[in-house]
DNA sequence: AGCCTGACCTAGG
DNA sequence: TCCTAGGCCAGGC
């Protein structure tokens, strides 16, 4: 991770998000050691579409569990469909029971170093 | 080569 | 309690 840039770190964390769980930009940014770089997390995740391997970018939402970037999935309901297919309930672009399915990399993942 | 922007978050007034 | 501003890394024009 240290060798890799901020982007690589984001990709690794997002790929490690368990199925049926969601994480937030801020949590990932904080995990990478830059709490105020949450904006770049969104950018990195956006760039994830260019990656060879599929990255569950739909599992990444903002701190209130809202599908802020759903419009970037090509279709308006693509992100919602993906989440619901994993058992996540989404209503009006907001993840229900967000507190329960929230996955914090800082707690669940080993430190990057 | 420099400026602008971007799927956000936190703090201060 | 709501609104405003600042900050971060990287890529595009």
- Ordered by start, the domain boundaries in chain A are 3-104
**Residue A14 beta carbon within 7 A of nucleic strand C:** no
pLDDT score, position A20: 97
A44, A10 contact by CB (below 8 A): yes
Q: What is the pTM of this model?
A: 0.92
Tokens at A106, concatenated: 């800082």
pLDDT digit string (tens) for chain A, length 113 residues:
445 688 899 999 999 999 999 999 999 999 999 999 999 999 999 999 988 889 999 999 999 999 999 999 988 899 999 999 999 999 999 999 999 999 999 999 987 66
Which residues have C-beta within 8 Å of that of residue A74, sequence separation ≥ 6?
none
Which positions on strand C lie below 7 Å from a protein C-beta? 6-11
CA of A37: nucleotide with nearest C1':
C8
**Residue A60 beta carbon within 7 A of nucleic strand B:** yes
Count of Cβ atoms closer than 10 Å to residue A88 Cβ? 22
**Residue A43 beta carbon within 7 A of nucleic strand C:** yes
Q: Which CATH class is domain A3-104?
A: mainly alpha
Return the ∠ at Cα A112 (arms to A109 and A113), rounded to 5°: 145
């Amino acid at each position: 991770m240290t060798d890799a840039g901020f982007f690589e770190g984001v990709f690794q964390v997002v790929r490690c998000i368990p199925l049926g769980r969601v994480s937030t930009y801020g949590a990932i940014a904080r995990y990478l050691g830059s709490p105020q770089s949450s904006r770049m997390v969104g950018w990195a995740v956006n760039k994830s579409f260019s990656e060879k391997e599929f990255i569950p970018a739909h599992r990444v939402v903002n701190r209130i569990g809202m599908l802020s970037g759903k419009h970037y999935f090509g279709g308006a309901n693509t992100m919602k469909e993906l989440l619901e297919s994993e058992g996540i309930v989404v209503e009006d672009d907001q993840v229900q029971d967000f507190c329960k399915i929230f996955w914090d990399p800082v707690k669940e993942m080993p430190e990057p170093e």
